[in-house]
Structure 1
Amino acid sequence: MGAGLPPAPIFHFTTLLSDMTLHFEVISRFQAAANADALLYTPLNAGLTFRRSRVYTVEITGDEQKAREYLLSVLVDPISQECTEQNAPILEGALFTIDYGMKAGALDLEKEAILQNYRGRRNMGFTMDGLKITQRVYVFGQGDKETLAARFAKDVCNPAIHNWTIA
């Protein structure tokens, strides 16, 4: 260093590490809307249709990009599925949606498989602090939203093992 010159700046390049929540909604590219009566114990014959998706809400600490890359590789088949990372429904125009998932303490085999895969890896650059998997059922058509949603929730969701919300 020359006399009278300030010391050279020291640069630290670090990966942004943070606590965050990632959202992924995954849906089949090839599944067309089907007759919603298939979801019910007794059909309504109301002309309603439905589609399903899965919503993954993941709490992570660490490198967001590494977490996203890993999760997309595990959760999505890029050929047969599409994914959005927004915390908003992937489909529009539904009469209502039912989001349901397993209650705490209920056996969720998909969640356990994902966590087992994660635990079997080293030096991921992030930690997975929480994982919530929700099934989302979109029901399309016309009718009394509240009455129909209550009927579908009653037949689709099991109160002994599921939590659910209707939107």
Structure 2
Amino acid sequence: MSNGARHALGVVAGLLLPPLLAAGLWYGTGELSLQAQQAFRVSWVALGVLAASAILLGFLAGSRLSPVASLFGGLSFTALGVLPYVEMATGVRVMPDAFLPSFLHTGFMTLTYSGLQFVIGLALLAVSTFPSRWRGRVAPAVGYQEPWDQASMQPQSPAQSSAQSPYLPPGIRPEDATRPMYRE
């Protein structure tokens, strides 16, 4: 996949997935807390929605798609999560009151006032900052020969690999030289 296509898909995912994630978290948290308070029972639907939201959050945070998706989600969650602190510091009412149905509003208030929405936003922003997520696949350098034979996927001898650095373990590609950890 080209770098432009990867970032274009990241923009689409960044615009579509964070609202779905927010709605799932707000519904799951609100429904779970309301059922626990009113009927002292567990809402399995709410737990399922929270599990699906956790999977979606993991996809946003860890996908190789593009960091633009987690950047958009992180900005929106951080902006919503900082509202109670702005309200406390300035004394001006900035928290929205009646823009959500009651079952979503309860979850929104719970996540926002507990600070969890702010934490999710900062976590998504943090995973967007890693340079390896912004980097696409690099075309092989001129004269660089892969350390393995592409046809048979058999490792080549070190004498056959001409552009190998003496400071890197054998088999490392040039674009992997700046990655923080050695991986096989």
TM-score, reference length from structure 2: 0.27
Structure number with the higher strand fraction is 1
> Comparing both structures, which one devotes a greater share of its residues to helix?
2
Structure of greater relative contact order (alpha carbons < 8 Å, 6+ residues apart) = 1
State TM-score, norm by structure 1. Answer: 0.29
